Amino acid sequence: MSYKDIVIFTDGGCSGNPGVGGWAFVMSADNKFVTEQSGGSKFTTNNKMELTAVINALKTCLVTGCDTIIINTDSQYVKNGITSWVINWKKNGWKTATKQPVKNKELWVELDSLNCQLPVKYKWVKGHAGIELNERCDTLVGLEMDKMKLG
């Protein structure tokens, strides 16, 4: 199936950092709900879960055609990382400006690869601000963390 515009909201979180974590995304296309997915990990970090949410969302987009994908994230880490920092990280052999290895490199490499294959734009949204699909992601993240705590 092919769409004109795909809009995705993503979220990730942890109870403790590191700790039990969850990630989620909600996808709509051409103003209609398409899908939502979520998952979790027993021991992770908030940043890993934020990245995992975007990666899984973009993997879903690989099988659809579209003109534009808009990723809405409440993570400045994800938005700034993929739209700005990654350029220099790659030039510097995946080292930061202070010559330290980039944290979560394997996730950044995967996200960068997906980003290069798809027509993605990133938008920062304020978390917990009543944005319906962002709030849905937050709820899914909480449910995943609860599952991880019980399991």
* Residue-wise pLDDT tens digits, 13-57: 999 999 999 999 999 999 898 899 999 999 999 999 999 999 999
- For residue 15, report the phi and psi dihedrals to the nearest 5 degrees: -105, 100
* Residue-wise pLDDT tens digits, 57-88: 999 999 887 899 999 999 999 999 999 999 99
The angle subtended at Cα 86 by Cα 84 and Cα 92, nearest 5°, is 120
Q: Which two tokens stand for residue 73?
A: 């994230």
Active-site choice (12, 13, 21, 22): 12
Active-site choice (13, 39, 74, 81): 74
The yes-or-no answer on residue 11 being catalytic is: yes
- For the chain, list the domains and their CATH numbers: 5-74+110-150 (3.30.420.10)
